[in-house]
Structure 1
Amino acid sequence: MAPDRKSKKKAASKGGADVDDITNSINESVIDNGRSCTGVLTSHPESRDVQISSFTLLFHGHQLLVDAELELNFGRRYGLLGANGCGKSTMLKAIVERDIPIPKHIDMYLLDKEIPASDMTALAAVASVDEEKTRLEKELEWLSEQEMTPEIESRLNDLYDRLDALDSDTTEARAASILHGLGFTAEMQNMKTREFSGGWRMRIALARALFIDPTCLLLDEPTNHLDLEACVWLEEHLKKFKRILLMVSHSQDFLNGVCTNIVHMQQKKLNYYAGNYDQYIMTREENEENQMKKYKWEQEQISHMKEYIARFGHGSAKLARQAQSKEKTLEKMVRSGLTEKVASERTVKLRFENVGKLPPPVLQFTQVAFGYSPDKVLYRDVDLGVDLDSRVAIVGPNGAGKSTLLKLMVGTLEPLDGMVKRHNHLRIGQYHQHLTELLNGEQSPLEYMMEQYKDVADTTMRSQIGRFGITGPTQTLPIKNLSDGLKSRVVFAWLAYKNPHMLLLDEPTNHLDIETIDSLARAINEWDGGLVLVSHDFRLISQVCNEIWEVKRGAVTKWKGDIVSYKEHLRQTHDALMNRKDLG
């Protein structure tokens, strides 16, 4: 049993903690999943901060990081950015599996897979704490026998807080509150995990991660399976996280709300910026501007010196001496290290071909009612239409019927009552987040597209997928070896080649990097077709949509404001709920 919080700490032996027992100072590992990793621990082995130097990470022989510096400080919330395929998810896995020498007392949780399907209820899966309590009590007992240092005192206080939270009478209520925030009704919380889809089991895994409250929480695109309401709840929850948070997210809005620091994975290094996403952009632009000024000044100096040396190096004695002096100055500049030119990342420029006009009405709902059974109707009396100049965002809680509305539009579902009328010549392109799962992993992107669109020249198809950032050797790599972001780009290339009049996009930003999301927004805004969008990305909605439909409580209605006012409405609803709980 762990010692009482008020009990006196026993003096430790002179040697203190056995560093080798806590961690190796250097790790070198080659994992059978293709990862190869090295790193050196430079932070104090008892510290709650993590500092690793010479961090080198390879994946199937491809260098992702070379001699990088990993720095994760307790109390900071980091957003990890980088282009699709640069290795962000691989890095998170290397960290959580301790391919690098992270001290054992720093417990970690990586959200990258769903809770297993079992007979355990969702609430029990989240609130099951026996294993975690045992681990924390064991560490607490060991620490209590060590010589008291500031590092150990901080760790002890943190352990007491966490054990209090896990051992409280309100433990189950706290688990239920987290699940509720992520969209689980009381009925759903008592359902068995095997009764949920993979997306909902991922939410259960997220709830468990938040409930356990680890020292280091690693999240890989945590908003991917959430609706806007749950995104707002999670943003409010994570902005209060007190330990170490490192997350991959491609939602600028979410990064702005949560992060205290940004880590940019670029050119095989990790670059650190203080502040949220907007502050990172400002600082990075300022740094790059200063770097380019210095680079240009140095290149001008070098050019002038080389020209002088070439002209006067063999002239009169005086001019020759001056030329030699300039040559020494030039050599000294080179030895001390010249400023590198700012490396501009290759940006993807997505593009959809214009389709011309179709006279309205193009797609019309007239008194539509739909439910998967007559006794469970999702909505009634839907009277709304979409034309080629429409830019509609559909919002509302998960389960309200947003994706169902898209299926009614495309015709894969039929209404219980009313009519969905489509223009006879209307071509609809539908994207949903599960399309990448239908790709043949053994085929290359080029082979897949050639099979989908037969009798198309190889060069034409190379150009098509190249437009969506699938270039060079990537075009002929097996799809199974591509990152999730690159797989999504393959799907977009396939979709665009259909040349649709109207795009129905259901969570299109999952796995796309920020630059690609911005490029998608530009492509939509330059295109003359119609758009209906379901997305948890507030910023994308603000970029491309001018009309909002809310699906809620059995109805589909137009929201009178913009997406900013809708988010503020969700935040106020969240705050009011929290206030009621506090008063209760």
Structure 2
Amino acid sequence: MVSDASKKKAAAKKAAAAAKRGGKTSATTSKAAADVPNGAVVGKLADGVGSMRISDRTCTGVLASHPLSRDIHIESLSLTFHGHDLIVDSELELNYGRRYGLLGLNGCGKSTLLAAIGCRELPIPEHMDIYHLTQEIEASDMSALEAVINCDEERLRLEKEAEILAAEDGGGGEALDRIYERLEAIDASTAEKRAAEILYGLGFNKQMQAKKTSDFSGGWRMRIALARALFMNPTILLLDEPTNHLDLEACVWLEETLKKLDRILVVVSHSQDFLNGVCTNIIHMQSKMLKFYTGNYDQYVQTRAELEENQMKLYKWEQEQIASMKEYIARFGHGSAKLARQAQSKEKTLAKMERGGLTEKVVKDKVLVFRFVDVGKLPPPVLQFVGVTFGYTPENHIYKNLDFGVDLDSRVALVGPNGAGKSTLLKLMTGDLIPLDGMVRRHNHLRIAQFHQHLAEKLDLEMSALQYMMREYPGNEEERMRAAIGKFGLSGKAQVMPMKNLSDGQRSRVIFAWLAWRQPHMLLLDEPTNHLDIETIDSLAEALNEWDGGLVLVSHDFRLINQVAEEIWVCENQAVTKWEGDIMDFKEHLRSKAGLSE
């Protein structure tokens, strides 16, 4: 027999090893400090009851499913962050083999919930390993391929555990079967081949796979971390906006890969197209509850609309009944004996209805309305490339002899693999980069505003959105700045709290407010949808379609491109060529090119 003290010691060791591996945990009864972000653990996880506080996050829940089951059912789930309730007394159900899309408005707590699951603040059975992809892989001398294969330390640990269990009197039983199943899943004999295939799918050719991780940018190291997560093939995989650092080609590959995943996947994504391709179920965070739907994103939209329509009909009918009964009671409650008896009967019916629980009014998601100020017309040519050649070094050209024009009625999406020069082309348009040969002509009065991910790094997170806007645009009244931020869906407390307490999506809206105040004639948007929720993206698309300026868009979101772009330009092989067809034709072309077409 193994003593409780020995068991706890072993569990602590496993948790420490898991934390070292970078986010993958396999112990619930103890937790390594290395795995706890910004603080210590308070409380414990035992007997199927979870109660944990990590920094400013508190999470509680009770395991209702069998501890040896491959499914998870947690009741009485509550989650708070910085003292705000995000989930109150709800249920979480994650079934093996299902792929869940986690939806909800920006700031509702999707990422916080993933972090709580990933850090095992809930009573998740010990036999279920979790990988929560949170950050890029560490920069080191290890090659990209080695960084992925190095996860195989799990295989050595499992083989050792299997050896110990097999030597026991009972022969190991179910626990040994699970270890063998896991060893088969991580198939060590084909490790290098599988790791190389995953990296290739995410855009790493053979030369790149051999490069040191320290030679890659943060975005590419995030891809290596994603490759590692897929290679590890954990029981529970948690992905928060996994397509944010990918080009369209890698997005298509990832969608095809995840739709074959036979584990538990929970993914936060703003791409409806991606959710449709990957998900078997949808979890919607709304009104501090988790609501579950079967099917992909489109099926969720249809089911939710039907349920809400029926709920609204029932609500209206009940309210009419209540109003009618109350009116009768008020009129005849003190009348003749017969009428008074009928009034009392209606009072009892009303009380019974209220005890049984009345239908709640449908709570509609607050739809944001983005607005860009119309800027009038500038006569063409507004922005013209004449024989433009560019390279970061004279001998290594990214573009050769580019000739094209962009005007105020242009709606262009730039597509092409990462490294082909899409962001470089935008910088040539703004004048941040100068051609080696040829010229870029801009209209004298042209105002260009560019959205890119690095703008978020320039925000002073100790300041509020209102303070930031007043600092950036001095001399404006506070009310005008409040209205400017309000146009992009940030109101009330969110305008005056430090931006470090805002979600990434809310910070993106501050940037849009900052850009819009400049009243540009032309918007250059480089991955504008990262961290925005689906409803906000739809509002952005609507605002762009109603606006009278010019647009050049770089995005991995097929649906946004489909909504706003009238032309698709492919950046590849030192050229920019117009794609004959729409973005969904281009997606099918990418699937065929990668050998993924059915």
The alignment's TM-score, normalised by the length of structure 2, stands at 0.90
1:162 equivalent among 149, 162, 185: 185
Distance 1:315 1:512, change over 3 A: same
2:28–2:124 Cα contact (<8 Å) kept: no
- Paired position in structure 2 for 1:536: 556
Per the TM alignment, residue 30 of structure 1 is displaced from its structure 2 partner at its CA by 1.4
Q: What CA distance in whole angstroms lies between the structure 2 residues aligned with 1:148 and 1:513?
A: 50
Per the TM alignment, residue 368 of structure 1 is displaced from its structure 2 partner at its CA by 1.1
Q: Does 1:478 align with 2:501?
A: no
**In the TM superposition, what whole-angstrom CA distance separates every residue of 1:354-394 from its partner, at most 9, and x where no partner exists?**
00000001001111111111211112121111000000000
1:79–1:247 Cα contact (<8 Å) kept: yes
**In the TM superposition, what whole-angstrom CA distance separates every residue of 1:2-26 from its partner, at most 9, and x where no partner exists?**
xxxxxxxxxxxxxxxx997995411
2:237–2:264 Cα contact (<8 Å) kept: yes
Per the TM alignment, residue 409 of structure 1 is displaced from its structure 2 partner at its CA by 0.2
Q: What CA distance in whole angstroms lies between the structure 1 residues aligned with 2:191 and 2:53?
A: 40
Q: Does 1:31 align with 2:54?
A: yes
- Paired position in structure 1 for 2:118: 96
Q: What CA distance in whole angstroms lies between the structure 2 residues aligned with 1:481 and 1:544?
A: 32
Tell me the secondary structure at the aligned position of residue 125 of structure 2.
coil
Compare 123-132 and 436-445 and name the one that shifted more.
123-132
**In the TM superposition, what whole-angstrom CA distance separates every residue of 1:462-484 from its partner, at most 9, and x where no partner exists?**
01101111100111111111110
Q: Does 1:567 align with 2:587?
A: yes
1:69 equivalent among 71, 76, 91: 91
- What 5-or-longer segments of structure 2 have no aligned partner? 1-26, 31-44
- Paired position in structure 2 for 1:46: 68
Tell me the secondary structure at the aligned position of residue 174 of structure 1.
helix
Q: What CA distance in whole angstroms lies between the structure 2 residues aligned with 1:29 and 1:504?
A: 44
> Which AA in structure 2 matches 1:106?
M
Distance 1:348 1:140, change over 3 A: farther
2:81 equivalent among 59, 63, 67: 59
Per the TM alignment, residue 266 of structure 1 is displaced from its structure 2 partner at its CA by 0.7
1:77–1:246 Cα contact (<8 Å) kept: yes
Q: What CA distance in whole angstroms lies between the structure 1 residues aligned with 2:163 and 2:125?
A: 17
Q: Does 1:239 align with 2:239?
A: no
Q: Does 1:137 align with 2:182?
A: no
Q: Does 1:407 align with 2:427?
A: yes
- Paired position in structure 2 for 1:8: none
Q: What is the aligned-residue identity percentage?
A: 66
**In the TM superposition, what whole-angstrom CA distance separates every residue of 1:275-315 from its partner, at most 9, and x where no partner exists?**
00000000000000000000000001101111111111111
* Number of residue pairs matched by the alignment: 557
Q: What CA distance in whole angstroms lies between the structure 1 residues aligned with 2:275 and 2:323?
A: 43
Q: What CA distance in whole angstroms lies between the structure 2 residues aligned with 1:141 and 1:51?
A: 32
Q: What CA distance in whole angstroms lies between the structure 2 residues aligned with 1:434 and 1:381?
A: 29
1:85 equivalent among 83, 107, 119: 107
> Which AA in structure 1 matches 2:464?
S
Tell me the secondary structure at the aligned position of residue 392 of structure 2.
strand
Q: What CA distance in whole angstroms lies between the structure 1 residues aligned with 2:277 and 2:326?
A: 51
> Which AA in structure 1 matches 2:455?
L
Per the TM alignment, residue 211 of structure 1 is displaced from its structure 2 partner at its CA by 0.5
Distance 1:160 1:127, change over 3 A: closer
2:414 equivalent among 375, 390, 394: 394
Per the TM alignment, residue 160 of structure 1 is displaced from its structure 2 partner at its CA by 3.9
- Paired position in structure 1 for 2:521: 501
Matches within 5 A, 1:251-400: 251-400=271-420
- Paired position in structure 2 for 1:451: 471
RMSD of the alignment, in Å? Answer: 2.0
- Paired position in structure 2 for 1:227: 247
1:429–1:502 Cα contact (<8 Å) kept: yes
> Which AA in structure 2 matches 1:155?
R
Q: What CA distance in whole angstroms lies between the structure 1 residues aligned with 2:318 and 2:174?
A: 46
Per the TM alignment, residue 29 of structure 1 is displaced from its structure 2 partner at its CA by 1.2
Distance 1:324 1:353, change over 3 A: same
Q: What CA distance in whole angstroms lies between the structure 1 residues aligned with 2:491 and 2:558?
A: 30
> Which AA in structure 2 matches 1:316?
S
Per the TM alignment, residue 347 of structure 1 is displaced from its structure 2 partner at its CA by 1.4
- Paired position in structure 1 for 2:442: 422
Tell me the secondary structure at the aligned position of residue 204 of structure 2.
coil
**In the TM superposition, what whole-angstrom CA distance separates every residue of 1:457-513 from its partner, at most 9, and x where no partner exists?**
100000110111110011111111111000000000000000000000000000000
Tell me the secondary structure at the aligned position of residue 333 of structure 1.
helix
> Which AA in structure 2 matches 1:312?
F
**In the TM superposition, what whole-angstrom CA distance separates every residue of 1:395-436 from its partner, at most 9, and x where no partner exists?**
000000000000000000011111111111000000001111
- Paired position in structure 2 for 1:116: 138
Per the TM alignment, residue 143 of structure 1 is displaced from its structure 2 partner at its CA by 6.8
> Which AA in structure 2 matches 1:41?
L
Q: What CA distance in whole angstroms lies between the structure 2 residues aligned with 1:250 and 1:142?
A: 46
**In the TM superposition, what whole-angstrom CA distance separates every residue of 1:81-128 from its partner, at most 9, and x where no partner exists?**
011111111111100111111111110111110001111111100111
Compare 501-510 and 545-554 and name the one that shifted more.
545-554
> Which AA in structure 1 matches 2:331?
R
> Which AA in structure 2 matches 1:211?
F
Q: What CA distance in whole angstroms lies between the structure 2 residues aligned with 1:232 and 1:106?
A: 29
> Which AA in structure 2 matches 1:214?
P
2:151–2:228 Cα contact (<8 Å) kept: no
Per the TM alignment, residue 161 of structure 1 is displaced from its structure 2 partner at its CA by 2.2
2:162–2:180 Cα contact (<8 Å) kept: no
Distance 1:571 1:299, change over 3 A: same
> Which AA in structure 1 matches 2:248?
L
> Which AA in structure 2 matches 1:376?
N
Q: What CA distance in whole angstroms lies between the structure 2 residues aligned with 1:154 and 1:511?
A: 41
Q: What CA distance in whole angstroms lies between the structure 2 residues aligned with 1:469 and 1:249?
A: 20
Distance 1:340 1:143, change over 3 A: farther
1:23–1:103 Cα contact (<8 Å) kept: no
Q: Does 1:487 align with 2:507?
A: yes
Q: What CA distance in whole angstroms lies between the structure 2 residues aligned with 1:19 and 1:524?
A: 48
Q: What CA distance in whole angstroms lies between the structure 2 residues aligned with 1:549 and 1:220?
A: 29
Per the TM alignment, residue 350 of structure 1 is displaced from its structure 2 partner at its CA by 0.5
Distance 1:150 1:426, change over 3 A: farther
Q: What CA distance in whole angstroms lies between the structure 1 residues aligned with 2:256 and 2:370?
A: 33
- Paired position in structure 1 for 2:454: 434
Per the TM alignment, residue 142 of structure 1 is displaced from its structure 2 partner at its CA by 7.0
Q: What CA distance in whole angstroms lies between the structure 1 residues aligned with 2:172 and 2:549?
A: 65
Q: What CA distance in whole angstroms lies between the structure 2 residues aligned with 1:140 and 1:419?
A: 67
Tell me the secondary structure at the aligned position of residue 330 of structure 1.
helix
Distance 1:300 1:149, change over 3 A: farther
Q: What CA distance in whole angstroms lies between the structure 1 residues aligned with 2:549 and 2:113?
A: 39
Distance 1:146 1:19, change over 3 A: farther
- What 5-or-longer segments of structure 1 have no aligned partner? 1-17, 580-584
Q: What CA distance in whole angstroms lies between the structure 2 residues aligned with 1:419 and 1:425?
A: 18
- Paired position in structure 2 for 1:461: 481
Q: What CA distance in whole angstroms lies between the structure 2 residues aligned with 1:97 and 1:25?
A: 16
Q: What CA distance in whole angstroms lies between the structure 2 residues aligned with 1:490 and 1:451?
A: 13
Q: What CA distance in whole angstroms lies between the structure 2 residues aligned with 1:240 and 1:428?
A: 43
1:23–1:104 Cα contact (<8 Å) kept: no
Q: Does 1:522 align with 2:530?
A: no
Per the TM alignment, residue 69 of structure 1 is displaced from its structure 2 partner at its CA by 0.5
